[in-house]
Amino acid sequence: MFSEEQERLKEQILQLKKEKDAVIFAHYYTRPEIQDIADFIGDSLALAQQATRVRANILIMCGVHFMGETMKILCPEKKVLVPDMAAGCSLADSCRAEDLAAFKAEHPDHMVVSYVNTTAEVKALTDVVVTSSNAKKIIDQLPAEQKIIFGPDYNLGSYINSVTGRNMLLWNGACHVHSRFSLEALLQLKKKYPGVKVLAHPECKAPILAQSDVIGSTKALLDYAIGSEEKQFIIATESGILHEMQKACPEKTFIPVPPEITEGVGCSCNECEYMRMNTLEKVYACLRDEQPEMIVNKETAAKAISSIERMLRMS
């Protein structure tokens, strides 16, 4: 499945990783070959939790920028490396700290709950961070009368409003991958595979979620596929997760929902191009040169850490 060059690079990375006592973390949406060389693969919550538990001094975060930033904030004394600093996130980009600060000022009686897909500056303005794994659990622990601003993902926010009965004020941000799944294609798949369960990430739009049987984080969807007796699943999330699903359940079939085809808007696949910026070549160079290194402004990190630690305590 992998080229000779890829296999050679994998060997070199594993050797260098051992020599330098480095630990590689990868998100489920990264390329299969990156997941294969990782020590830990996880969703955003698991990666943040795991980072606080390892003893190694060099941590490599194969994911997107905000994941490396979160890791550095949680482990300030460690060297956190990211293979490509330009691997961003359209969702994090949809909420600028100055805009959130202005919105907060207009609603002084609201607390701010932010999705982990945000910059360190946004986390510094946040009372508690959540991920798709723990958002419901954390919101449920807040007093019923507490007014809440939730951002930046509008789809996740409305889903959490619907399952908690809250009326959080929602930021109008979205992930360009998850908001693009085609309802028409999903309905056709459901017709073609009657009775097959649909597993969706809560960043998908409401009409997609309304057609889904299981809604959860990447890890929750994976766990469901592993634990279920069923043999086929329709998947509405970034296609990188299929690698781990297929590896864990070789006898099962995973059918990805395609995105809407929009002329001139990125690619017409359900891949996050930012996650795919992590390549074996870049991981090797990053291990060898010990850069690019994630640096977070100390003042920002000092403010952001309380909202992240509060999330870890409430998870």
Binding region for ligand 13P (CB under 6 A) = 43-44, 117, 131-132, 175, 203, 217-218
**φ, ψ for residue 79 (rounded to 5)?**
-90, 110
What, of ligand 13P, ligand SF4, none, does residue 113 touch, CB below 5 to 8 Å by kind? Answer: none
Compute the least distance from the CB of residue 236 to ligand SF4, in Å: 12
Residues facing residue 253 across a β-bridge? 232
274 binds ligand SF4 (CB under 6 A): yes
What, of ligand 13P, ligand SF4, none, does residue 44 touch, CB below 5 to 8 Å by kind? Answer: ligand 13P
309: which residues sit within 8 A by CB, 6+ positions away?
Answer: 74
223: which residues sit within 8 A by CB, 6+ positions away?
Answer: none
Span near ligand SF4 by CB under 6 A; candidates 1-9, 49-57, 78-86, 175-183? 175-183
Query: Is 148 or 275 the residue whose CB approaches ligand 13P more closely?
Result: 275
Compute the least distance from the CB of residue 112 to ligand SF4, in Å: 19
> Residue 255's CB: how many other CB atoms inside 10 A?
15
Collapsed DSSP state (helix, strand, coil) of residue 262? coil
Question: Using CB under 6 A, which of 272, 280, 301, 308 touches ligand SF4?
Answer: 272
What, of ligand SF4, ligand 13P, none, does residue 131 touch, CB below 5 to 8 Å by kind? Answer: ligand 13P
Question: Using CB under 6 A, which of 275, 283, 287, 294 touches ligand SF4?
Answer: 275
Q: Are 271 and 238 in contact (CB under 8 A)?
A: yes
DSSP 156-179: HHHHHHHHHT---EE--B--TTGG
Hey, what are 136's tokens? 């419901």
Task: Compute the distance between CA of residue 238 and CA of residue 75 in angstroms, rounded to an integer.
Answer: 28
Query: Is 60 or 175 the residue whose CB approaches ligand 13P more closely?
Result: 175
156 binds ligand SF4 (CB under 6 A): no
> Under rule CB under 6 A, how many of the chain's residues touch ligand SF4?
14
Alpha-carbon torsion angle 197, 200, 206, 207, nearest 10: -40
> Residue 173's CB: how many other CB atoms inside 10 A?
23
List of residues contacting ligand SF4 (CB under 6 A): 29, 64, 89-91, 117, 175-178, 238, 272, 274-275
